Chains A and B, each alone.
Chain A
Amino acid sequence: MYGKNLMLIIISIWVLLFIVLPVSAMLLFSFWSVENFQVIHSFNIQNYAKFFHDPIYLSLFGKTIKLALIVAVLSALISYPLALFVNHRGGTYKTILFLGVLAPLWVGYLVRIYSWRSILGESGFINSLLVLTGILKQPSSSLLFNSFAVVITMLCISIPFTFIPIYSAIEKIPGNLAQAAADLGANGSRAFWTVTFPLSLPGVVTGFMFAFITSFGDYMTPSLVGGTSGIMYGNIIQTQFGNSYNWPLGAALSMIMLLFILALIAATRKIGNVQAIFEE
């Protein structure tokens, strides 16, 4: 019992120190304002009003949702067959293949972004290959510094996060269910759509949300590979904390993002019922 209580205390301190306190501070800041580089500690909602009045915030919010959705959908579409393959065909190499998918996580975040820049760049790997094989006469400049490059780079970061929950969900499905389906006359694709897929759906939703959330808040990727239009909602928040010294506006914009993500998680909880996977 003693150990359990100690654990509880440590977790509570962690939650208090790293979640409750910072978020409360952010909430408080979001109602303040700045004048002459001094934070004015008086309550008002003008920062939140700005978000709805100035078209730039809403339009970037929309653009960010769109990009994060594309990344999350692609990430799930790629991870699912990958997870099926590793689970069913992996055999003795299962562990190696599993770790292989997670490999991008072993490399630093910035290093990964810069690597994509040298892969997609004009004198980069893909262009050299295309020119060498004669497919292109001139190296193409349209691979890098646009939304395409942003999506590719974010995919590299989000696929491992999508892969793990999907893989776990598929692995959980007892093999005799597929057998039973076959015995009852279901062919391969019917068995997949009526048995495997519905049972793995919670994993898909969890993975989808992980991918969506990691891409939604990213601001380094768009600014390093996104080119002249490489701006997303996260960049707007980041610039408020720089020289413009508008921490209250930055805090309000962050709160809006936080609430949006929380609402999304609450909405998808039903489909992605994590508990359902735990209970076997």
Chain B
Amino acid sequence: MRLKNVLILLMSIVILVGLSGCGGNASSENTGAGKASPTAPSNGGEDLAKFKGETINVLSWEGYQEDEWVKPFEQKYGVTVKVTYAGSVDEMFAKAASGSVKYDLIFMDGGSVNRYHKMNLIQPIDLTKLTNTKQLIENMKSLNDKHVVKDGETYAVPFAWGSLPMMVNTDKIKEPIDSWNALWDSKYNGKIVTLDDAANQTAMTALLLGFEDPYNLTDEQLDQVKKKLLEQKPLVRTYYSGFEDGKNLMASDEGWIGFSMGPTMITDLQKEGKNIVEVIPKEGALVWIDNAVIGKDAKDPELVHVYIDYLISSEVQAQLIKKTSYGGVNADSASMLTAEEKKVSHMDDPNYFNNLVYVAFPESFEKRVKLWNEIKAAQ
């Protein structure tokens, strides 16, 4: 009989191991407990009591709904901001599409707005109800509008952004780097790291190949991208599969040069004492802009508008930048930052956007995933 017990134990271990493998996508709820900040929102003159007791259900990325700015809003209006965090684009989409919870406010990259709009999950935003939109960084907003304005209606308001630049270890690579071609340079054979991500890997290669719209490629262009990526494959140390994975590779010198997941990856490495710099190549780099959108079945759209307007105010945006180092969307918030904070978040340089290409919704995720799998499977 002892063997039977051992087998049962073994099976339980197998199940536990299986479960722990699925536990990667942590989601948590934050009802906004914590210390309050003295800065209360100042939308003076309106009736503060009319939203009392209401709840806003928010589906958000980690870091976008911090106590520093959520608490004062809740106190001022007597409302509750109930936050659900998503760990990935897919998880967010699955949560929003399942419909089990009706989210009033959802945060997503502007490229995804198209999909949510097509699936009829969101409603247009009434810009006349927002007072802070005129402070939005101009060239960023016009870039964003191309993707979130449908049939004359605005479906999303930008909230934060970040670029996907190249990262270069200047201790190892002395020559100046100014092109994505460096990731195809046999000089750095075995020291190149790049992202295990079908859509953005394809888009970056399309930028290098000079295609006009890297998110709308013809089958023939996709073939050229594939050829180019196959050329690169033998030189690449590995395709990294996430923020921490990529940092780990650069920190341990497995990689000297790479396609990064954002400036915060580079500033984190600098804090660890690595001489790694950000390069925006001459072909341009990709930029994601996260937007706030209103759910189709929002209980009180008026309250959601007030909250969005608060979130894009210069005060909240300055707090966001200080806390996360992401780019903010409110031009006035720059005056509340130190020179160092402005530099890290690129709020000191309005021209930074001119060489960036919007992370849009690709012509077909399916084709890109297939292309990328074929590259990894190639011998």
Residues of A at under 8 Å CB distance from B?
36-38, 56, 59-60, 63, 105, 108-109, 114, 117-118, 121-123, 141, 144-145, 161, 164-165, 168-169, 172, 210, 214, 220, 223-224, 226-231, 235-236, 239-246, 274, 277-278
Interface residue from B1, B234, B248, B369 paired with A239 (Cβ < 8 Å): B369
Partner among A122, A230, A239, A278 whose Cβ is within 8 Å of the Cβ of B4? A278
* Closest-CB distance, B159 to chain A (whole angstroms): 21
Rounded to whole Å, the gap between the CB of A46 and the closest CB of chain B is 13
Name 18 extra pairs, CB < 8 A, besides A109-B21, A122-B254, A242-B369: A37-B118, A105-B13, A117-B248, A118-B252, A145-B237, A145-B238, A169-B3, A210-B14, A223-B196, A227-B238, A228-B233, A236-B373, A242-B89, A243-B90, A243-B369, A244-B365, A245-B90, A245-B93
Contacting residues, chain A, for B253 (C-beta < 8 A): 122-123
Chain A residue with the shortest CB-CB distance to B232: A228
B10 within 8 A of A: yes
Determine the distance from Cα of A63 to Cα of B377 in the docked complex, in whole angstroms: 10
Q: Please provide the chain B residues from 188 to 215 with a CB less than 8 Å away from any CB of chain A in the complex.
A: 190, 196, 198-199
**Given A243-B199, A278-B3, CB of A231 within 8 Å of CB of B377:** yes
Q: Mark B206-241, 1 if CB is under 8 A from A, else 0.
A: 000000000000000000000000000110111101
Q: How far is the CA of A229 from the CA of B237 in the complex (A)?
A: 10
List of A residues within 8 angstroms of B373 by Cβ: 56, 231, 235-236, 239
- The verdict on A235 contacting B93 (CB below 8 Å), with A145-B238, A172-B3 known, is no
Closest to A274 in B: B7
Q: Are A60 and B377 in contact (CB under 8 A)?
A: yes
In the complex, what residue of chain A is closest to B20 when comparing beta carbons? A109
Are B376 and A244 in contact, with the CB atoms below 8 A?
no
Chain A residues with CB below 8 A from B374, complex form? 56
In the complex, what residue of chain A is closest to B114 when comparing beta carbons? A37
Most A CB within 10 A of own CB, among B2, B17, B366, B377: B377
**CA–CA, A37 to B366, complex, Å?**
11
Cβ-neighbour of A38 out of B119, B236, B254 (below 8 A) = B119
> Is A56's CB under 8 angstroms from B377's CB?
yes
Q: Is the CB of A168 within 8 A of B3?
A: yes
Contact with A along B110-138 (1 / 0, CB 8 A): 00000100110000000000000000000
B101 at the A interface (CB under 8 A): no
In the complex, B302 has a CB within 8 A of chain A: no
Q: Is B363 an interface residue (CB 8 A)?
A: no
